[in-house]
Structure 1
Amino acid sequence: MMKKIYPSDQINHYLLIDAISIVFLFFLILREETIFGLFGNLLLLAVFLLSFYIGIWHRDWRLLAASLSGLFVLTLFGVFVSSSILLFGFIFADLIGRSRSKWHIGYGIAAIAIMFAIVYWQSSDSQDNYFLLPVMILQLVFPILIHIKEKSNRLQGELDAANAEIEKYIQEEERQRIARDIHDTLGQTLTMIKLKSELTTRLIDKDVPRAREELTDILITSRSALKQVRELVSDMKFISLQSELDSAEKLIQSVGMKYKLHIGELPLLSSVAETMTALSIRESVTNVIRHSRARCCMITSEVIGSSLVIRIYDDGIGLNDSGSGNGIQSIKERMQLIKGTAAISNASPCGTEVELNIPYYGEEKENRIQ
């Protein structure tokens, strides 16, 4: 109910002060006998209260109009009751400072100055006027201070909102990264488990010793998958490009596919670039095993200018108009992260070709740390 009468964003800071100020103003005016009479006093106080109410709810021209109306009422009371009534000008000085228009603030400050000038020249008691100068100065400065404070609060609110959006974006990016890492890292291992399980099913009645060996491999691979999960939960680790090539060779050969590797001297890559490249190769090899129905996979590399170009070929069924699936998007995103490119196309005469173009800086590595 209170939020409908008084703005909720101002309750904690202004409500108590405004309530006390208005009660004191009503008390001071209603106890005095003025030329306006009781009815006139009540009417002017009603105008003051209405002006105040409009001022606390609006920040446009209505705030300026309400402030001018309220200051006019205070001017009348200041002339015909007491110049001390001008102390209540801080109420509208505060409201004027909350305006979003600098022109409105300027007009409001000018109105405050005019109010003090009129009361000073019309007042007959010079003993009460000595305090008007410092009070006037404070009320003239007050809107500027409030404006600076309000602007700071708005900027802080916008900053908090922007930070919230950035945090939300970072969290979403992190979720996508984790999802890609789980897909790329565990997908390869689980594919191996699936293939070996199918092989074991066929061997269980024909070659028991071989089936036992495959079951042992499945157990070892399962433990490796569990280790990978723990590593992903901790953080994405650095992945050596050479070690990933070695793993790709073992994986491809384990499913009975031929593997050819033609890798020259690898240039020096940053840790991020090397990890993203290794994961892209892992995704590509996983796609070959899962979807290509290929008999052979070949990986080559060459340095062209300041770029390392890695190509992954297979002699399978090709893309079949599914160029946006099978982890291809994640490969492109990883290359974009390191300002590289990824091109996936049908190879000639058959199969698929993945070309990774990785920019690098520096000289070639003579001794790579494994």
Structure 2
Amino acid sequence: MLNWRSNLYKTTGLNPFIWAILFILPFYYIFRTSTRAHTAVGIGLILLFFISYVLVFITKGWKVYIWSGLQIAISIAMTVLFGFVYFSLLLTFVIGNIVSKKGFITLYVIHLTITIIIIDYAIIIKNPVVISQLPFVMICLIMVILLPISNYNRNKNEQLQGQLNDANKRISELVKLEERQRIARDLHDTLGQKLSLIGLKSDLALKLMNKDSAQSMVEMKEVRQTARNALKEVRQIVTQMRGARLTEEIARIQQMLRTARIELIVEGDLEPKCLSLMNENVLCMCLKEAVTNVVKHSEASVCTITIKPDRLALVVIVEDNGIGMSQQATYSNGSGLIGMKERLEFINGSLELSEGPGTALVITIPNTQPREKA
């Protein structure tokens, strides 16, 4: 179990020193009703309960159940001898911190059963102390029923939340590692080949400089072109690392459709406020795939992209006035709809397809945070 001080505060909201003050209460019952011998027994039971209460929070394994069982026995003795039933209330916090489900259920049932029996016994023998405070005893019994379950569920939820946070951290580290490996592969494939080619052609140009100056010039021009291509590819890699933005993607789409002689109509805000960079990147990839399908298969003259922000999601509709999917023989095989769905499912988005005079794709991207109402 956790450190006893932090666990006491975490599970009850009370400082452990306040709990120490609460242990003074049973002395009132002892000194009011007992003989000297009973007083000595009562003091010993209280001190033993206090010691075991601390030990149960600093020990682990089977020892936890030993100290818990000792506290239950002390609670029985205090109720029978002095009419003090409130140790059973303190025990609820101990039981609620049991990690094992079987151990929790076992201690909970034993403690609840014994508490009910000793309260009934005190009522049957008409213990004046218990009878005089019967409403508080009933409240104590209700708390004995509810508090252990409440504390157990709260601790389980906190444990699961901690495990979830650890898993998210591991996933984040794995994503970073995978991204580093991808960048390393891209740079190796891009620069490694190009730089090797530049080195070979430079050596060849040096050798040909005195023998065949014209051919040497041709090789140097190829070196220059290779260097430009390498620089272009490096810029592309850097652009992909930055992630695609919606405004930039719309500009590229507009250029693509203009080349295909398809009119583009864009409706809505191109700078959504509640999308994370990852969700916006996924949206851009889906738009690129959808517009590519329009160009290749739809035979459309107009393509409309409608952006509809919502409180919980961003809805983007890509619609054309083409021939529709039912008449596109190759569309189902090469459209990339499965890839788009997989990307969207990864971020809890969705993709819907509808047909009319043309084809309409409805892309739903969840917001990172809800939009505020106007």
Q: What is the TM-score with the length of structure 2 in the denominator?
A: 0.54
- In the other structure, the counterpart of 2:234 is 229
2:116 and 2:62 map into 1 onto residues whose CA distance is 20
Q: In the alignment, is residue 169 of structure 1 matched against residue 174 of structure 2?
A: yes
Task: Give the partner amino acid of 1:111.
Answer: I
2:201 and 2:5 map into 1 onto residues whose CA distance is 68
2:122 and 2:209 map into 1 onto residues whose CA distance is 107
- In the other structure, the counterpart of 2:109 is 106
Q: How does 1:1-370 map to 2 (within 5 A)?
A: 6=4, 12-13=10-11, 16-26=14-24, 28-29=26-27, 32-33=30-31, 34-35=34-35, 36-37=37-38, 39-58=40-59, 60-83=61-84, 86-99=85-98, 100=100, 101=103, 102-122=105-125, 123-125=127-129, 126-235=131-240
- In the other structure, the counterpart of 1:287 is none
Task: Give the partner amino acid of 2:94.
Answer: L
1:15 and 1:58 map into 2 onto residues whose CA distance is 21
**8 A Cα contact 1:200 1:214, kept in partner:** yes
* Cα-to-partner distance string for 1:311-356 (whole Å, 9 max, x where unaligned): xxxxxxxxxxxxxxxxxxxxxxxxxxxxxxxxxxxxxxxxxxxxxx
2:124 and 2:240 map into 1 onto residues whose CA distance is 76
Report the count of equivalent residues: 243
1:50 and 1:75 map into 2 onto residues whose CA distance is 17
2:45 and 2:20 map into 1 onto residues whose CA distance is 13
**8 A Cα contact 1:93 1:142, kept in partner:** yes
Summarize the Cα distance change of 1:104–1:131 in structure 2 as closer, same or farther, 3 Å threshold. Answer: closer
Summarize the Cα distance change of 1:8–1:179 in structure 2 as closer, same or farther, 3 Å threshold. Answer: farther
Summarize the Cα distance change of 1:51–1:117 in structure 2 as closer, same or farther, 3 Å threshold. Answer: farther
* Cα-to-partner distance string for 1:7-62 (whole Å, 9 max, x where unaligned): 65666555844431232223541784234455433321221022212321346443
Task: Give the partner amino acid of 2:95.
Answer: I
**8 A Cα contact 1:63 1:96, kept in partner:** no
* Cα-to-partner distance string for 1:111-136 (whole Å, 9 max, x where unaligned): 33334334444522422112211220
* Cα-to-partner distance string for 1:62-86 (whole Å, 9 max, x where unaligned): 3333223223323333344454xx3
**8 A Cα contact 1:75 1:119, kept in partner:** no
1:222: how far off?
Answer: 2.1
- In the other structure, the counterpart of 1:326 is none
**8 A Cα contact 2:96 2:152, kept in partner:** yes
- The 3-state SS of whatever aligns with 1:205 is coil
- In the other structure, the counterpart of 1:245 is none
Task: Give the partner amino acid of 1:124.
Answer: P
Q: What is the TM-score with the length of structure 1 in the denominator?
A: 0.55
2:148 and 2:186 map into 1 onto residues whose CA distance is 56
- The 3-state SS of whatever aligns with 2:135 is coil
Task: Give the partner amino acid of 2:49.
Answer: F
Higher CA-based Rg: 1
2:136 and 2:9 map into 1 onto residues whose CA distance is 31
Summarize the Cα distance change of 1:233–1:117 in structure 2 as closer, same or farther, 3 Å threshold. Answer: farther
